[in-house]
Amino acid sequence: MKKAGTYYVTVTNNAGCFSTCSKCVNVSYPPSCTISTCGGNSCNGNGTTLCGQSNCDWSTTFLWSTGATTRCITVTQSGTYTLTVTNSAGCSSSCCKTITIASAPPCTITGKTKICRGDCSSLCGPDGDYSYSWSTGDNTECINVKCSGTYYLTVTNDAGCSSTCSVCVTVYDAPSCCISGNTHIKHGQCTTLCAPSGCDSYCWSNGSHCQCINVTCPGTYCVTVTNHSGCSSTCSVCVVWQSGCGGDDDGDRIAAGNSNDLMNSYGNIDASAYPNPFTSVATIEFSRTDQSSHVRVEVYTLSGAKVATLFDADAEVGVVYKAQFDAANLTQGMYMYKIISDDNIINGKLMLMKN
């Protein structure tokens, strides 16, 4: 029987006697089965809620493929979830729902977390097909920062899942740099030049790594001091002969009409370089004291690369020659000059300092 109604039956025996009886048949229908979701596709760590259809029959039961018997469940893994609904008549129906749980993107910040004042740190999020949101308001993969502070980054993937991370940047001050000591010396005497105490390392232009150095020759002496944070400062001082106590006679001084700076004697050549330090143009003067000779004046970087040839000709004895070194297009730093003759080579240093 598939239809509801009252069904009769008459039973007759061999004697012709009969009896009649009836039965009322009711037909029950299986319950409706639908699954609704709250949140749709989810990200790792955030569950998606699945619910069976609500009805007024309190006797309806629910059975999920997870084993749960509640009308709603929360799932945190991708997969297909099946629900079986049974009504009070014992009729059942089943339905299913497929859920995808998307992965949250990785969130890491690379870059220097300790920088010196005036320097810049490039902070970068993970490389990939992501969108970026920094606490600075930038939306690029990398940002440049110069200030101390905590910087936050939120990374979002195509599924709309996000991750947040942060990094703390600290800015350190460079150490102060000044050189103490007597800068005017006599021939044969020594002066001690000292950098500030308390630094982690020292690097002098003469190769020393001590706080103090002893010098016996005029010239420009530079030192780079570095503190415990790795920040550095550079300063320099110019040591010169004490006026009136240097040469053997007045021949050490350039004749009237030339520079009044004192030239130093290097065997058969007198020479000087000024101003030192200089900001744009320096002058190198020299004079042969014994005989005429071919002379070259060249300038090099500390790494040995030639920058310029300032003079390349015969020099007569007793004549003061001037070679100008124009460093307007060069970078700040220390440069070496050479005065090269047939029988002598003089090496000196020039400090270019720009604002």
247-352 folds as Immunoglobulin-like (2.60.40)
Tell me the C-alpha distance between 120 and 94, whole Å. 63
Residue 86 has pLDDT above 70, yes or no: yes
Among 123, 137, 127, CA closest to 168: 123
Q: What is the pLDDT of residues 31-50, one digit of tens each?
A: 889 998 875 456 766 678 89
Residue 341 has pLDDT above 60, yes or no: yes
Residue that wins the pLDDT comparison between 243 and 193 = 193
Side chain identity at residue 168, one-letter code: C
Residue 248 has pLDDT above 70, yes or no: no
Q: What is the pLDDT of residue 261?
A: 46
Q: What is the pLDDT of residue 114?
A: 93
Q: What is the pLDDT of residue 1?
A: 60
Give 237's pLDDT tier (boundaries 50, 70, 90): confident
3-7, 112-116, 190-194, 310-314: least confidently modelled range? 3-7
Over pLDDT 70: what percentage of the chain?
Answer: 89
Q: Judge whether 67 and 8 are in contact, CB under 8 Å.
A: no
Side chain identity at residue 180, one-letter code: S
Give 138's pLDDT tier (boundaries 50, 70, 90): very high
What b/e readout covers 149-176, taking b as 16+ CB neighbours within 10 angstroms?
Answer: eebebbbbbeeebbbeeebebebbebbe
Q: Judge whether 21 and 49 are in contact, CB under 8 Å.
A: no
Give 108's pLDDT tier (boundaries 50, 70, 90): very high
Tell me the C-alpha distance between 51 and 34, whole Å. 8
Tell me the C-alpha distance between 348 and 298, whole Å. 11
Side chain identity at residue 38, one-letter code: C
Tell me the C-alpha distance between 336 and 44, whole Å. 64
Q: What is the pLDDT of residues 254-312, one digit of tens each?
A: 222 233 345 778 788 888 898 888 989 999 999 998 888 999 999 998 878 899 999 99
Domain segments of the chain: what residues?
1-38+48-66+79-96, 114-172, 184-240, 247-352
Side chain identity at residue 167, one-letter code: V
Q: Taking every pair of C-alpha atoms in the chain, what is the biggest distance, in angstroms? A: 170
Q: What is the pLDDT of residue 16?
A: 83
Q: Judge whether 32 and 148 are in contact, CB under 8 Å.
A: no
Summarize the confidence of residues 65-78 as an average pLDDT.
Answer: 90
